[in-house]
Amino acid sequence: MSQVITEPKADVVILGLGVMGGAVAAELSTAGFKVVGIEKGPYYQFADDFAPVKYDEWGIMVMRKFDHPLPMSTFTMRQNGNQFALPVRRYTPTDQVISMGHAVGGMAHHYAGDMGRYGPWAYEMASETASKYGSNFISSIEPNQDVEDWPMQYTDYEPYYVAWEQSWGVTGTNEGPLLPMSGNYPLPPHPDTAVGTAFANACEAVGYSPFPTPTALASKPYTNQYGVAVNECVYDGWCTEGCNYVCETGAKANSAFRTVPAAISSGNFTLAVNSYAYRLDTNSEGLITAARYYDSAGNIHVQPGTVFFNGLWGFNIIRSMLLSGLGDPYSPSTVTGSLGRGITEADLVGPYTIGTINIGANAYPAGNGSGGQYNIRDLADDNFDHTGLNFIGGLNTLGVGGYAGSGPGFANNYFGAAAPTSIGSAYKASWKDFYLKTAQGVTIFNYTNQLPRTDYWSDLDPHYADIYGDPLARATLDFGVNEYNTSNYVVPKMAPVLTKMGCTNVFSTPSMKPGSVHVDAFQAHTRGGARLGLNSATSVFNMWQQSWTTPNLFASGEICNTTGNNMTAGTHGSGYQSYVASEGIKKYLASPGELATSM
């Protein structure tokens, strides 16, 4: 029979021990605070749990044995407010590749480790655009736009970026000159590929400024600021295909191998794994008093605390607040409220430019998920003149020349070689060419800026529930006009670069009309919905990542990102928020109440 168990009170209770929660756990427990972490998944160790099964392509890629189990909880999706939202029930490559996290370490067990900071423009997109192109510029593109500036600017966030990058061991040099950085990333870049070098040279020849793609895959042995030692990558490519594979050396950064070990070593951290958080209790003053969770035996645990950090990721952050009666729920009919407001996905893969480059050798194409390549920022953000154009932002997360292949073979049925429609010599040749390449396709496509809109939001689904009977989160979300306009204009601009690289058959697909494709899968980079801001009427959290309505609640993650800028990978674009939140929590513990909202 299940019991109700009340745990000892903690200074800080962390919900979710993924990327964000792990950073807060390390920062606060090493500072001497008593911290409890509640995580619904297990704590895997790379040597014991990942290394022995790394060849289990069926189990990992298809059966998704390290992923979040969707029967436990999922969420529902629809493209507009008139549709009946349906639950995501299966991981089905190539559409629903992305999984939610389900372990200490979170989603980052599955990522490719692509990194890169936001630039200054991302933080002041609304005001910069208004001052340069007129106050109606964004509304002329997207009449329902709901774009706001972040509460702090790039220079304010820079020290937090640095702390975050040290903990993670980010590789790279410097993203300058279009991104001011106070120093280099802590680890050197991975070795260039021939295609990466060709891309960098071609970019320089046309006047762009390439830099090695920053990654979260250790290029050297490394010890971070908490004393956690990290192995270097062995370039076996197991974080590449479909980027769902776990890392068997710990070289791929996630909190399980970077920050949570520091929290455990501090002696101030208690970790509850296989524990599903479902409510936050409040008192008459509107403060949270305890988190409730189910353990794997069905017992209910009540975990009291002084401060609570919500690191449950994405829609789960919004949902947990709605289920607990916290925050000010957004209403799209009156355009009032903030919780659930402004979600974006920004993963439109529309038009592309493609070419083929001869790499001249039958080399085994191993590598890792995001090293070896180069990026540019020249066609991103407002780094080019938008006068007379019908979009803001530009060509984002652009990296060319990544390692050509990887260890896993099974997934190539989805992602690589030709479909087996004509089994025979041509099909066999396609496999040989896939593994022993002499030529490589180079494709430029665009992850754009999706603008927050008043008719896209997240709330509780009235029809579907999780395994415990609580309503699921629902997303009402589709692509907007800005994404199409950006891709149509910017992607063909890369054709001369491909030609300069020596590519043959360079080709840009025709423009796409807005509405040609729809959001039909959830992505890793859902942003907005629990936004940071200076206005308590339209944002959920203030500049210290503190809830406007519940002062002892803090959060971080992409869902807190104020704008739908997809300039960079998600973790880099939000990990530093955990360092801002940690500082905010320390301030709160020293003097409880709403924190000053200016620096």
**Interface ranges with ligand SF4 (CB under 6 A):** 217, 233-239, 247, 249, 251-252, 368-369
Q: Are 145 and 138 in contact (CB under 8 A)?
A: yes
Choices 44-52, 103-111, 199-207, 488-496; region in contact with ligand FAD by CB under 6 A? 103-111
- The residues pairing with 453 across neighbouring beta strands, listed in sequence order, are 145
Q: Is 274 in contact with 537 (CB distance < 8 Å)?
A: no
Quick check: 256 and 44 in contact, CB under 8 A? yes
Cβ closest to ligand FAD, residue 20 vs residue 187: 20
Contact residue for ligand FAD among 14, 35, 76, 102 (CB under 6 A) = 102
Task: Look at residue 197 and give its three-state secondary structure.
Answer: helix
Nearer to ligand FAD, 229 or 467 (CB): 467
Q: Closer to ligand FAD at the Cβ: 318 or 506?
A: 318
CB atoms within 10 A of CB 150: 25
Q: Which two tokens mark 445? A: 């496509």
| Nearer to ligand SF4 (CB atom), residue 239 or residue 348 | 239
Q: Which listed range, 297-305, 307-315, 325-333, 416-424, lies at the site for ligand FAD (CB under 6 A)?
A: 307-315
Pairwise CA distance, residues 469 & 394, whole Å: 43
> Residue 102 or residue 252: which is nearer to ligand SF4 going by CB?
252
CB contact set of 242 (below 8 Å; sequence gap of 6+): 61, 93, 97, 411, 414, 415
Cβ-in-10-Å burial (0-12, 13-18, 19+) of 165 comes to buried
Report the DSSP pairing between strands 269-272 and 35-38. parallel
**Partner touching 452 among ligand FAD, ligand SF4, none, CB below 5 to 8 Å by kind:** none
Of the candidate residues 113, 250, 452, 528, the single one contacting ligand FAD (CB under 6 A) = 113
Instruction: Give 311's contacts (C-beta < 8 A, 6+ positions apart).
Output: 14, 15, 16, 17, 18, 19, 20, 21, 22, 24, 555, 556, 557, 578
- Closest distance of CB 251 from ligand SF4, Å: 4
* The entry of ligand SF4, ligand FAD, none that residue 238 binds, CB within 5 to 8 Å by partner kind: ligand SF4
Residues of span 353-372 touching ligand FAD by CB under 6 A: 370
Q: Tell which one of 570, 577, 581, 595 touches ligand FAD (CB under 6 A).
A: 570
Round to whole Å and give the CA distance between 547 and 463.
28
Q: Which is nearer to ligand FAD, 492 or 584 (CB)?
A: 584
Q: What does 222 interact with, of ligand SF4, ligand FAD, none (CB < 5 to 8 A by kind)?
A: none
Nearer of residues 484 and 576 to ligand FAD, judged by Cβ = 576
- Structure tokens that stand for 472 in this block: 């699921």
- Residue 276 interacts, among ligand SF4, ligand FAD, none and using kind-specific CB cut-offs from 5 to 8 Å, with ligand FAD
Q: Which one, 23 or 379, has the nearer CB to ligand FAD? A: 23
The separation between the first and the last C-alpha atoms of the chain, rounded to the nearest angstrom, is 52
247, interface contact from ligand FAD, ligand SF4, none, CB < 5-8 Å by kind = ligand SF4
**Window 320-349: contact mask with ligand FAD (x via CB under 6 A):** ------------------------------
Distance CA 143, CA 371 (A): 39
Q: Residue 183 half-sphere exposure, CB side, CA atoms within 13 Å?
A: 12
Q: Which residue is nearest to ligand FAD (CB)?
A: 18
**Cα dihedral 39/370/169/268 (nearest 10):** 0
Going by their DSSP bridges, the two strands 35-38 and 75-78 should be labelled as unpaired
- Between 150 and 245, name the residue whose CB sits nearer to ligand SF4: 245
User: How many whole angstroms separate alpha carbon 342 and alpha carbon 562?
Assistant: 8
Shortest reach from residue 275's CB to ligand FAD, in Å: 6
Nearer to ligand FAD, 74 or 129 (CB): 74
Is 217 or 357 the residue whose CB approaches ligand SF4 more closely?
217
Report the nearest approach of ligand FAD to the CB of residue 61 (Å): 11
CA distance linking residue 540 with residue 532, whole number of Å: 6
Answer yes or no whether residue 20 interacts with ligand FAD by CB under 6 A.
Answer: yes
Query: Which residues are bridge partners to 271 per DSSP?
Result: 37
Please say which residue, 117 or 252, places its beta carbon nearer to ligand SF4. Answer: 252
Q: Are 390 and 485 in contact (CB under 8 A)?
A: yes
**Which of 110, 117, 386, 527 touches ligand FAD (CB under 6 A)?**
110
Shortest reach from residue 213's CB to ligand SF4, in Å? 14
Q: Which is nearer to ligand FAD, 224 or 324 (CB)?
A: 324
Among ligand FAD, ligand SF4, none, residue 252 binds (CB under 5-8 Å by kind): ligand SF4
For residue 498, the surrounding DSSP H or E stretch is helix 495-501
Site string for ligand FAD, 30-59 (x = CB under 6 A): --------xxxx------------------
Nearest-approach distance from CB 262 to ligand SF4, in angstroms: 20
Verify binding: residue 557, ligand FAD, rule CB under 6 A: yes
Min dist. Cβ of residue 273 to ligand FAD (A): 9
Using the 8-state DSSP alphabet, how is residue 4 labeled? E
Cβ closest to ligand FAD, residue 35 vs residue 107: 107
What is the spatial distance between Cα 561 and Cα 91, in angstroms, rounded to a whole number? 26
What are the beta bridge partners of residue 211? Answer: 375
Contact between 26 and ligand FAD per CB under 6 A = no
572: contact with ligand FAD by CB under 6 A: yes
Q: What per-residue string of b and e applies to 220-238 under the rule 16 or more CB within 10 Å gives b?
A: eebebebebebbbbebbbb
Cα–Cα distance, 497 to 477 (Å, whole number): 34
Q: Which of 497, 524, 555, 560 binds ligand FAD (CB under 6 A)?
A: 524
Instruction: Tally DSSP H helices, then E strands, for the chain.
Output: 15, 20
311 is in the binding site of which of ligand SF4, ligand FAD, none (Cβ under 5 to 8 A by kind)? ligand FAD
CA-to-CA distance for 123 and 533, rounded, in angstroms?
11
Sequence length of the chain is: 599
**Sign of the CA dihedral with 486 first, then 384, 508, and 115 last:** negative
How many residues interact with ligand FAD (rule CB under 6 A)?
41
- Minimum CB separation from ligand FAD for residue 420, in Å? 25
| Residue ranges that bind ligand FAD, judged by CB under 6 A | 15-21, 38-41, 98-103, 106-108, 110-114, 243-244, 276-277, 311-313, 316, 370, 524, 557-558, 569-572
